[in-house]
Structures are given as structure tokens and as C-alpha cells.
Structure 1
Amino acid sequence: MTVRFSADWRLHGLRALVLENRQLRVTVLPELGGKIWSIVSKRHDREMLWHHPRMAPRPAHYGATYDNWFSGGWDEVFPNDYPVTIDGEPYPDHGEVWSLPMTWHVLEATDDAVSVALEHRGIAIPTRFRKVLTLEADEPHLRLRYEIANEGHQPLKVHWKLHPALPIAAGARLHLPVERVIVDEDFSGSFAQAAFRWPHAPMQGGGDRDMRWLPDPDTGDTWFLYGVQLHAGYCAVSYPEERVGFGVSFDPDVLTSVWIFGTFGGWRNLSTIILEPCTGYPARLDQAIQQGSVLTLEPRATLSTTVVASVLDGEDAMTAFEDQGGVR
């Protein structure tokens, strides 16, 4: 099968861009910050991204409360997470990209590949956020090329974070190449320590939890963690019972931490795990600036980097993904 592209679809009243090859069908919503709404593995007849069971995607507005529009899929978080004021300028909840329309155009549409560019221009700060999605024939990989530019005259200290939400299933596993994990101070929950060495977390009441095995979807737990000291640029969730996994590969010199938000029937009675490679930590940008763990965009400079989202077919593919440090 060749690669196909269509801009003729609507999803809950929103324009939907569809990229499709023999392995994957990808749906993008440019009116919602270029949200990747769906990545379907055709081989497994399976949606790889999580969707909110009670909330469909709908138009948002600048400054909207992110949690009340969080319908699932894969959002872009830039230039901050928690709402914050930096140099007198208020930055909205989870940044300004996710809530606003992106312009888009097709760069390539051939039998071999489809490439679509989406772009957002900053409101609070003078930035240009551009991503190019490329789907090649017969590949189980979606490639994303990012360009994040500071078009102003002063340096900008920012967070940029990927935000793919994935489903939880019994026996699911979390794959992280990190040395240490820091527990967000607002989500200490049943963790006994503020930080621990991956993958064993001391728990209140005694004993350790092997964090590589995710809780079942109805345990009532909620996690918010920062994985730091990466020794490779990837993160993944696998579903051994279904013999499939989903991995994200990136440059660890750019995305230097992996945040994990997991709710297992806890927060809002939802069950999802969000893999969040980020340019720094913690979530509060002002604190991250103080500790020097942010992305600094110099005046008139552009950050360019590539991310690869992969559907992993079986245990052998998951093992190879880890052994090779992701997909390049």
C-alpha cells in the first residue's frame, strides 16, 4: 500500500488531517494545536493513544484550563506547564500551543511519503513553533521534525514537552532509561521518599514497588514523576498480553527528562499514563529556571530536533527498541 493523505474529514466538528500507510493511520487536529488525536496500528487493529471516556475534543480558547479540555491524544506543551508569570508576562495553563489553531500545509504527498507542516506563532512571547509530520510507506513509525524559534531580542527560558496519553491495561509495562526518579511534591501519594533510584520505589508502610510494572487501571493511584539522568533517548509502554507497545524516541541532549503522569482510576476517575519527555523539570517553570533546568532559546535562534513515535510489534521489537536506544 502506498501512503495516503486526506484533509476532507471532520471529527466532532473539527478538521481532521489523516495520514495513512499499510501499518498506521494517523489523525491530526490542526484547530487544537496540532493535536495528534489518533495513531491506529492497523496490524493490531488497535488505537495506541488514550481518549477521554467522557469528553470529546472541542475548540478551546487562549488561557483555558487545560484539565477541563484534556480529551486525550498527543498535545504539545510550550512554553510552560503550570500557569506562571515570567518577567511580568502571564503564561497560560500548559502553555499556549495546545489551545489554538495551527496553520498547516502539505510539503509532500507521494506514493513513498506524506509530510505535513503545522505552525503556531507565539502570543505571550515572540516564538514560532513548527512541526513536520512524516509518514513513509510501510513503516510503523511517525516522524516529527520540530523547529522552535525565538524571534525576539531577549533570551527565553522555556519548557517544551511532548504529551502523548496512552491507555492502561492489566500487565502493562513502563520502559524508562533513567537513573533516578523525583516525585512531584503535590503527588507524593503512597511514595515513601521524594526521590528514588529507578526502578524500585520505597513505599509507605514498607516494601518497594517495581515501577516497571504499571498498576491495574482501577487501583485508585495517581503518579506525577520526573525521570532524570537519562542514559538513552526513549520511553515506552508495552502491553505484553497484546504483544504490542508504543515508544517515543528523541535526542536526550534536548529532551533531558521524562515526566510521567499516571492515573489509575485516581485523578478524575480516569485511567491513562502520559509519557512526557521534556527540556527540563519541575513542572513549575519559575522553579525550573531557578535550578537551571530549562531550555534557553537565544535571540533569533532556532532549536531543531526529531522525535519518532513507533508501534512496536511483539516482545522482540520491544527488546530491540531498548537495546538500540530507540529509533532514529
Structure 2
Amino acid sequence: MSPAALTDTLSLENEQLSVRLRPGQGAKLCSLLDRRTGRDWLIPSQLPGGVYLQPTCGDDFSRFDTSGFDDCFPTVSACKAPGMDIQWPDHGELWSRPWEVTREGASLLARIDGQAWPYTFSRRVSLEGDTLCLDYTLDNRADRPFPNLWSAHPLLKVSPGMKLWLPGSPGSAFLNAPSDPAFGSHGEARPWPELLPGVDFSTVQPRSLGRAVKVFFPRVQEGTCGILEPQSGEALTFTWNQAELPHLGLWLCYGGWPDDGRPGHLTVALEPCTGLPDRLDEAAEGGTCLMLPPGGRAAWSLRLRSHHLHSRS
């Protein structure tokens, strides 16, 4: 079938779930609705009136809708590409550009070619019962190795008291460029879940906390994490192959971002990723990014299951 127009919102649904995406805004997943409960797991546009503006490559991510599920690639934080004269923009170059999205049977295939480097990035979206399936491929069409990192960026709709669970029993988390010195310094290990004295960050905090922080759990031993609403038992569980996605980032925003005078957001993002930290140049220096050979292909998958649990801590 022909690709969707850039202004379209495309959707898939079954008896359990409905998912919508916006081809013109980076093929953003703008809704993941559990049709049985009415819970949408993704936050809507944070702009006045809930509008979606059309960004261009290189724009400041914080000035746009800051919502839904974007793909951050080939970096998260803006930086100079290692070993080449390319400046990768804030949150990468995919979220701000239109994608080609084609409906193929019961799935949506979204693809885009690189702007500053010859690559092709694709994501197939499908539903299997209560599970959203995301299947990715990346092709390096250059005659040189391609250093890159990908991170999921699902901004979840949360409320205070919801519970987070993480792979295994992480004893510490590593800070990623914290803007608030109360947390510590970039790269510093902090005890999990007490990132600040007396605050249990495995429980979603109120917006009034006025803090935001990004941390990493490197080399996860188990490819699963999730969030739970204890009273209702509603849960969203992420699963992946840790050989494909060896790291996990966690963005916790409890009124502390944006920090330019606008109201702070209330959201959490569980971010399986191919590399860390958020700056590709640092990841390349530390050997923690994906180095795709000339003509090479990488593939990975992520599953998000909306279901019910009686309890999980």
C-alpha cells in the first residue's frame, strides 16, 4: 500500500489494545491504549492545547510536544560524531523528521534514511494480544564503520504511588549528566532506589518533588522491567533480549523538567538501549556504543505488555 500522508495519524487495534502513531513527527507512538481499562500508557502533547508542531532536524526537543514514544538515534544528547565532522542533534535526528509509514497487513512498517550518514532505520509495529511488538532493523550503507546508539524513549503517563521494577536487584544506578547537583556528578554511582536521602525512587513521586534525573543500569542480567499501579493491578511490562539491548536507562521527571519556567512534567521513561551514556561520543570512547561495520545490519526487538498483576515490588 502507499505510504501515509505526513499529517495522518495511523492506528492498529485488536480487542485488547490500540496504538496510534504520527508519521510526520518521527513516527512517534502517540497513544498506547488498553481498551479493556481505558488506560493510555503514554503522555499526550505537553504543549498548550495538546498540539503537535512540526519540528525540523536540529531543533531543541524540549520546545516541542515532549510526549509519547520516540526513537532516539544515533545519540540521545547532542554531540559531535566520534571521528567525523557531523554534529548529531538533541535526541538524535529521527524524532524531528517525517518517516515513510506503510500499512502491511496487520502491521505498520515505518522507515527513514539517515540525513547526515547513509543508513536506513526501520521499525515494524504490530499487536499480539495484550502486547505491543516493536521490531527494528538498521542498515549501514556506508563504506565505513558507523558508531551509533539507540534508546527507546517512551514517556509514560504515571501517578504518585505507582511502582517500578527493574532487572535483577540493581544495587546502584549511574547518573547521566544530572542538572540538579543534589543527585551528584555525571557518572557517579548512587544507591538504588534511594537516589536522594529518604526518597524511594522505585515509587513514583509527586510533581511537587521538583526533581528530574536520568540514570543507567549497565549490563542488565535480565531483559525485563515495568511499572505497576498497585491499587488496580494494572501493569506495563517491557521485555527484550539483553544480548541485543544490554543497557537500561531510566528517566524520572517529577516536576523538575523543563527548568525554563514552564510547568514541570510528571513522567517516567523506561529506556532499554544499545549504548550508554546519552552522548554518543562518550559511549564510543568507553566502548559502549554499537559499531556497525560497512554494509552491516543490526536488528533488535522490544515488547510492551499491558496486563494485570496483583502485586509486584
**Match for residue 145 of structure 1 among 135, 146, 162:** 135
Distance 2:291 2:116 in 1: 16
Q: Where does 1:202-213 land on structure 2 (aligned, <5 Å)?
A: 203=196, 207-213=197-203
Q: How far did residue 153 of structure 1 move? A: 0.6
Aligned to 1:229: 219
The reply on whether 1:220 has 2:213 as its aligned counterpart is: no
Q: Where does 1:111-130 land on structure 2 (aligned, <5 Å)?
A: 114-130=106-122
Distance 1:265 1:209 in 2: 15
Q: Where does 1:173-192 land on structure 2 (aligned, <5 Å)?
A: 173-177=163-167, 179=170, 180-191=172-183
Equivalent pair of 1:168/1:264 in contact (CA under 8 Å): no
**Match for residue 285 of structure 2 among 290, 311, 326:** 290
RMSD: 2.1
Equivalent pair of 2:71/2:151 in contact (CA under 8 Å): yes
Q: How far did residue 152 of structure 1 move? A: 0.7
C-alpha distance after superposition, 1:124-154 (max 9, x if no partner) = 1111000111123xx1101111001111111
Equivalent pair of 1:63/1:92 in contact (CA under 8 Å): yes
Q: Which has the higher helix share?
A: 1
> Matched residue of 1:142: which SS?
strand
Distance 2:127 2:16 in 1: 10
Aligned to 1:96: 93
Distance 1:181 1:50 in 2: 25
The reply on whether 1:63 has 2:58 as its aligned counterpart is: yes
**Match for residue 273 of structure 1 among 268, 281, 284:** 268
Q: Where does 1:153-168 land on structure 2 (aligned, <5 Å)?
A: 153-168=143-158
Distance 2:255 2:229 in 1: 18
C-alpha distance after superposition, 1:8-33 (max 9, x if no partner) = 9x9xx931111011111110111111
Equivalent pair of 2:40/2:157 in contact (CA under 8 Å): no
C-alpha distance after superposition, 1:209-257 (max 9, x if no partner) = 4332121232212111112231111221211123212122112122221
Equivalent pair of 2:111/2:120 in contact (CA under 8 Å): yes
**Match for residue 189 of structure 2 among 187, 192, 195:** 195
Distance 1:199 1:251 in 2: 24
Q: How far did residue 163 of structure 1 move? A: 0.5
Aligned length: 298
Aligned to 1:36: 29
| Percentage identity across paired residues of the two chains | 26
Q: Where does 1:251-262 land on structure 2 (aligned, <5 Å)?
A: 251-262=241-252
Distance 1:263 1:54 in 2: 17
Q: Where does 1:299-310 land on structure 2 (aligned, <5 Å)?
A: 299-310=294-305
Equivalent pair of 1:237/1:246 in contact (CA under 8 Å): yes
Q: How far did residue 173 of structure 1 move? A: 1.0
Q: Which has the higher strand share?
A: 1
Equivalent pair of 1:57/1:71 in contact (CA under 8 Å): no
**Match for residue 80 of structure 1 among 75, 78, 83:** 75
Go from structure 1 to structure 2 and tell me whether the alpha carbon gap of 1:79 and 1:126 turns closer, same or farther (over 3 Å shift). same
Go from structure 1 to structure 2 and tell me whether the alpha carbon gap of 1:292 and 1:233 turns closer, same or farther (over 3 Å shift). same
Q: How far did residue 91 of structure 1 move? A: 1.3
Q: Which amino acid aligns with 1:118?
A: A
TM-score, scaled to structure 2: 0.88
> Matched residue of 1:289: which SS?
helix
